[in-house]
Amino acid sequence: MRVTKIKYYNFRNLYDCETEFSDGINVLWGMNAQGKSNILEGIYYFARGRSFRGAGDRELITFGDSFARMELSCLREGAEHEIKLEAVLPKAGKRSLYRNGAKLTSVVEMLGSFRAVLFCPAHLNIVTGGPLERRTFLDIAISQLSPAYLTYLRRYSKILAERNALLKLASGGRGVTPGEWEVYAWQMAECAAEIAAYRMEYVEILQDAVEEYFNGMTDGREKPALVYQSHVPTEELPKPLMGDVVSSAESAKKGIFEKLTANVDREIAYGATLWGIHKDEVRLLLNGKEAKLYGSQGQQRSMVLSMKLAEGQIARQVGGEYPCLLLDDVFSELDEERRRYILGKISGRQIIVTSCEPDIIPVNNYDGDIAFHHVVSGNVE
């Protein structure tokens, strides 16, 4: 998967910006606050359906303008024709998404059309932050591979919000029948079992790839491990990413249902759902110890970078092609040895990297195409 061209209109400081990309490494370089990261933000929008910086759509519109528009052209491996994606973000009203000129009804329809892996300095929070950061990493990675997963995730979040609202009402004295709790419990159980199946399988695949990359970037003395701790009974869960349609999650659904209905009185007292996959954790370990607590900053950075490189490898394994790799101000944080290692591992893939200096890439260690794009005041020269 590679980006061939991107256009921006009224997107942050990119008033009318267009650029084409090579198949190999593309270096977006220039001084700070010129628009380099904004370019990556727009590209990644088509992979995830939202800003990686947490900004709402209206915040992406250039100040004083009424809308923003982005157009991305990409080419899948082995394909003859490009896919053209477009997003129109109005100041008022809902956004509009298009694929090859046809309007899409939801972001779920767009996901998978273009795939990308992003690594930026803020992603160190995957190791140093709380469980939500690690669940989000899984959710973003899996959603690009399976729109069905995103559907389960969104449905679960909606049901969870409704159940929490009902718990608050119940804690305030409103009567709720056992039948109402059972309806919510079963709806949550159906989604939770499917989500847990995807997550468990993904972490299982991720483990081997992370170990390979981590050892390649370090001296090999530390052994990384990823442990998914779920509130869901995980016995005999299917492996949906690899096409397992034989196994069933019915036993897990039953266990979740029973747990949710058994905890109602306690949850009414708290006014919130205290148990479920929204509380799951992915432990990141080095030699059996929490990387968050005992890893050096260098080890933590290597752990996250290993996870991101592994994310791309899994996309190839499951989806049949490598995603575009977006690195936002990452190479400046790495020593020469790690830069060379990464370049060796991403040979043959497309990478778009931002940097203040054009010589951030050790060109003597890379045989592929390298294109340099100078970004100045929201324009690419």
Q: Hey, what are 225's tokens?
A: 């491990």
Q: Hey, what are 210's tokens?
A: 């992370």
Backbone dihedral angles phi then psi of residue 268, each to the nearest 5 degrees: -60, -40
Largest distance between two CA atoms of the chain: 72
The pLDDT assigned to 277 comes to 93
- Nearest-10 Cα torsion for 174, 178, 182, 185: 50
Q: Strand, coil or helix: what is 89?
A: strand
CA dist 2 and 72 (Å) reads: 10
Out of 3.20.20.10, 1.10.3720.10, 3.40.50.300, 1.10.580.10, which CATH number does the structure's domain 1-115+321-381 have? 3.40.50.300
Distance of CA 130 to the CA centre of its chain: 16
Q: What's the whole-model pTM score?
A: 0.91
CA dist 347 and 103 (Å) reads: 35
Q: Which tens digit of pLDDT belongs to each residue from 323-354?
A: 999 999 888 778 888 888 888 888 889 999 99
Residues of the chain with pLDDT under 50: 246
The pLDDT assigned to 363 comes to 66
CA dist 292 and 280 (Å) reads: 17
CA dist 169 and 364 (Å) reads: 65
Distance of CA 114 to the CA centre of its chain: 13
Q: Give the start-to-end residue ranges of the domains of the chain.
A: 1-115+321-381, 127-317
The pLDDT assigned to 338 comes to 85
The pLDDT assigned to 225 comes to 96
Q: Which residues, 6 or more positions from 250, have their beta carbon under 8 angstroms from its beta carbon? A: 193
CA dist 292 and 310 (Å) reads: 19
The pLDDT assigned to 246 comes to 46
> Tell me: domain 127-317, CATH 3.40.605.10, correct?
no
Q: Hey, what are 303's tokens?
A: 């752990």
Backbone dihedral angles phi then psi of residue 51, each to the nearest 5 degrees: -70, 140
